A and B are shown apart, each in its own frame.
Chain A
């Protein structure tokens, strides 16, 4: 995908997708002049096939599908180094959030399912318990990702240190959380929110 010839025309450039990213992130991709400062400071650059500046470049060319097909967006650590240092105030961290959301909504063809899975479980935890329940998060993650032995030695140690709780109590006002989730879903269904 990365090296495929790129045909540019009004039809092949998905401007609608880019506009969505800009609306979600509140940041213009056109402002970027490709200085590369974001990629220079990104702690995760070496793990990505498209470094941050190239993500923006692909968006400038309306190539959202190329971005989502890669795993780069899932390797962003949200450290905001890029946003902080950008000379053009391109909020790349927010653009990454927007891209992840669009990929998430589309259940997109990402190669990087582990991070997606972890995020999904994290949010499920919130919906179910109101707060994080780290033991459950870790256990279910390992189960679902098929890495049964991952951090095998770490778990019991943390439990003994009191860092992982075996049991978890729900918030008394847990109903309100469900309400938030439902109303957000409702707004999206009605097209009132992105």
Chain B
């Protein structure tokens, strides 16, 4: 697959890694354009469901990156993230996801170079692995992973009457 361009999604915290990526920019460093960055206040905010959903929606590789342990802007958010993702990785491994597609790293606001390194490495690694079709096939199945329905958003999420009834009865 010589022409395969992997899609990489990066979930980053705003204080360290997002700023680190900014620094890579102001330093005019170069890295593959395959990455799409989603900004969070803290890695502690990142729900594992987001990662699953990203794979489902076409990501071939996912990067989660935040402040170094001990440097969290919110004191302990990244510690919680670290624990959460340690368990989550094991789970993904169990269901058969190649963990090489999922990278966790610490990139500080001063590490523009490290950001470039991490993104480049993951992109090239995933490029050699090829696309990841398994999760995308699940795309049409309904999931509970969002509460868009409750907020009056896309009704598609709760389009079966049984589900809707069950959902409404909770309140």
- In the complex, A touching B (Cβ < 8 A): no
Give me the interface of A with B, judged by CB distance under 8 Å.
Answer: none
Chain B residues within CB distance 8 Å of chain A: none
